Structure 1
Amino acid sequence: MFIRHGEKPGENGPPHGINHNGEHDSHSLSVRGWTRAGALAGLLARGPSVLHPNIVAPERIYATKSTHEYMSKREVDTVTPLAHRLSLHIDDSLNHDHVEELAQSIIDGPQPTLVAWHHGSMTDVLAKFPISNVGDIPKHWPEDRFDLIWVLSRKSEDDDYQFTSVNQGLLEGDLLSS
């Protein structure tokens, strides 16, 4: 499962970014982003439901590494409530350019995995997987969407992956269909 980080602060003013201590931090999530992070923890921890049959509780979590060039903490912030709830470690050892390493790690370890990644390189990551319906994958993550989960699933390790885009439907204003 692949998600973009929760909502970010405004470029020049509100909404402001805050860290987990409530302190101003332009590299962290906005209040709405933190609200989404909490709602995602509830959704993803419980796994499949009538509204979200393709969602499973992750056993591994990856998030984009914050670097001097890419200082965002938003990917880690977004999955932190879920990691706490499931007592999972967040692997943030890879930066957004390490798409090959990320994809190979997911393929090599078949357990359910959640990836919070930089949306600009998300399709580059998916391109590393054998996907049967590759034509269904958007060319880019929609710039204005924080409410999607891109799911890759397969019946067995010998099968290609199947791509599905899932609308979270967690917060007011989230789209319920694509």
Structure 2
Amino acid sequence: MRTGVEPVRRVLVALVTVVLAAVLAACSGGGQPVPTASPGGAAPDTAPVGTVVMVIRHGEKPDGSHPGIDAQGDEDDSSLTAVGWQRAERLAELFDPPSGAPRAGLARPVAIYAAGANDDGEGARTRETVAPLAARLGITVNTDYGKGDEEDLVDAVIAGPGPTLISWQHGELPAIADAFPGVTPTPPKDWPDDRFDVVWTFTRTADGWHFAQVPELVLPQDRSDVIDER
């Protein structure tokens, strides 16, 4: 372990138990069941009017000066940075406040999806980002879908019972938006590489899905503006 990582290790000690509990629950199938698409094909569009699906990008990723750190505090390029882990903790409070309801436009999820590992991507950061929230709510994270499976993912989500959170890689977030039927207004066509601080929401209406954006505002550097429609 290099000297610069030691402070991060100490910061993450409090997170390790929570994260590992969520990971073990996902592996064992414990917690609340999460609906998936039927084996026979696409799931029906059964979400009731008013149901909201919330989509986030995973937390901050490694760059030249900020290494990835796994749940044990060891350097790992496929994991979140220290700031990413801080975001994951704050997101748990954003979607499940200690008192009262979540901020306007958001809801406590009854199902959580994060990208699973497949030939197109490992997805560790998406799972790490929602692990504190999943543990807090006692929900097993559904990792049945990975990069490239966005259409099947949305089919499964809109067949679910209520508010849902999706944590995904930013390059494929527009593909998730495209998979919702009848979305208005039109979501942005790209998710900027430097934005980790926005929630995209899709709320079921009588004739489709209403798209909106909610700034997370959970860390001091978070911006209050949303992603430009391009």
TM-score if structure 2 supplies the norm length? Answer: 0.70
SS of corresponding position for 1:91: coil
Q: 1:6-62, CA deviations, whole angstroms, 9 ceiling, x for partnerless residues?
A: 00011xx3201011111111100000000000000001013744xx30010000000
Corresponding residue pairs, total? 171
2:99 maps to 1:16: no
Match of 1:174 among 202, 222, 227: 222
Whole-angstrom CA distance in 2 between matches of 1:174 and 1:131: 30
Kept in 2, the 8 Å contact 1:103–1:128? The answer is: yes
Shift of 1:123: 1.1
Whole-angstrom CA distance in 2 between matches of 1:159 and 1:38: 36
The share of aligned pairs that are identical, in percent, is: 37
2:168 maps to 1:120: no
Whole-angstrom CA distance in 1 between matches of 2:112 and 2:125: 14
Kept in 2, the 8 Å contact 1:48–1:54? The answer is: no
Shift of 1:132: 4.2
SS of corresponding position for 2:96: helix
Match of 1:31 among 82, 89, 96: 82
Kept in 1, the 8 Å contact 2:109–2:165? The answer is: yes
Shift of 1:130: 2.2
Match of 1:140 among 184, 190, 212: 190
Q: Which amino acid counterpart does residue 64 of structure 1 have in structure 2?
A: A
Kept in 2, the 8 Å contact 1:131–1:163? The answer is: no
Match of 1:165 among 191, 213, 221: 213
Shift of 1:68: 4.9
Listed as ranges, the matches of 1:49-60 within 5 Å are: 49=102, 52-60=103-111
User: 5+ unaligned residues in a row in structure 1: which ranges?
Assistant: none
Relative to structure 1, the CA distance from residue 68 to residue 134 in structure 2 (aligned partners, 3 Å threshold; closer, same or farther) is: same
Whole-angstrom CA distance in 2 between matches of 1:5 and 1:131: 26
Whole-angstrom CA distance in 2 between matches of 1:107 and 1:134: 18
Q: Which residue of 1 aligns with 2:34?
A: none
Kept in 1, the 8 Å contact 2:118–2:147? The answer is: no
TM-score if structure 1 supplies the norm length? Answer: 0.90
- Across the aligned residues of Structure 1 and Structure 2, the Cα RMSD in angstroms comes to 1.6
Ranges of 4+ aligned residues in structure 1 off by more than 2 Å: 46-49, 66-69
User: 5+ unaligned residues in a row in structure 2: which ranges?
Assistant: 1-53
